[in-house]
Copies of this chain bind each other. A is one copy, B any other.
Amino acid sequence: MNSTTPPAGPRYLQVADDLRAAIAAGHYAEGAQLPTESALCDRHGVSRFTVREALRRLQAEGLIRRRRGSGTVVDTVGSVLRQPLSDVAELLQYAADSEFDFERRGMVTLSSAQAADFAMAAGSRWILLSGIRRMTPGGVPLAVTDVHVNPALEPHVAALQPGRQTLFAQLGLAAGFRIGRVEQDIRALAAGSREAAALGIARRAPLLRIVRSYRDDSGRIVLFSVSSHPGDRFTYSMHIDPA
């Protein structure tokens, strides 16, 4: 037997997780210099390729900023309502920062109006779960969300748990598929009576509507969610880094 235990996935993810945890633990403050690439190579006993792949991930998450000649610095802000979105990991992270309660509402068939609204196929059938997302349990509602699950996953729906894990991640675990592409459409519209009541805002108040579709790695739409956020309480934030 070997003295080392290499259980987890790629090494660059382990390096990235290490750095992320160190930043979260406050070992590197905002604006602080991170170790150089060669230092990280030594510390983790990996090649520069691996270290650079790890740093690439952190940069995509907006956690660090890099400049040739200068080095790598921590570049993050802690505002809770900001939702940086660079990759799927970040998308899932957002879910972990808030609380989701839902109830099953049965099977639905999309009308042509809904289909156009959600960019989905008219007449398609889905298992509907409705819920509310809050920053803290019992706190101010951040969004009212309708989650539509592919009926093929019916056997796993009953086991879904509310909380800080995305339904998508839970279904993936239970049904054994892996994440593929995520698409999302964002628009503004006026609150209807249902959203107004659930969010505690006026009818016709501005809403931010986010429709996300999640595909597995074979391209099948596993579920799509329709989230309505009160305009005065939610800002969707993201960034893009060059190259």
Q: How far apart sit A67 and B179, CA to CA, in the bound complex (Å)?
A: 12
Is A217 positioned at the interface, with any CB of B under 8 Å from its CB?
yes
Is A91 positioned at the interface, with any CB of B under 8 Å from its CB?
yes
Q: How far apart sit A203 and B240, CA to CA, in the bound complex (Å)?
A: 33
Residues of B within 8 A of A205 (CB): 190
Chain B residue nearest to A213 in the complex (CB): B239
Among A157-211, those with CB < 8 Å from B are: 178-190, 204-209
Given contacts A206-B207, A207-B206, whether A186 and B242 have CB atoms under 8 Å apart is: no
Among A87-105, those with CB < 8 Å from B are: 87-88, 91
**Stretch from A22-30, A148-156, A227-235 at the B interface:** A227-235
**Chain A 95-131 near chain B by CB (<8 Å), digits 1 or 0:** 0000000000000000000000000000000000000
Is A243 positioned at the interface, with any CB of B under 8 Å from its CB?
yes
| Residue contact A240 to B87, C-beta cutoff 8 Å | yes
Residues of B within 8 A of A86 (CB): 240
Distance between A55 CB and nearest chain B CB, rounded to angstroms: 15
Residues of B within 8 A of A229 (CB): 188
Chain A contact residues, CB within 8 Å of chain B: 65, 67, 82, 85-88, 91, 178-190, 204-209, 217, 229, 231-232, 234-243
A-B contact pairs, 15 of them (CB 8 A): A86-B240, A87-B242, A180-B241, A180-B242, A181-B241, A184-B238, A186-B235, A187-B235, A187-B236, A188-B206, A188-B207, A188-B229, A189-B206, A190-B231, A208-B208
Top 4 A-B pairs, shortest CB-CB distance? A188-B231, A188-B188, A188-B208, A188-B206
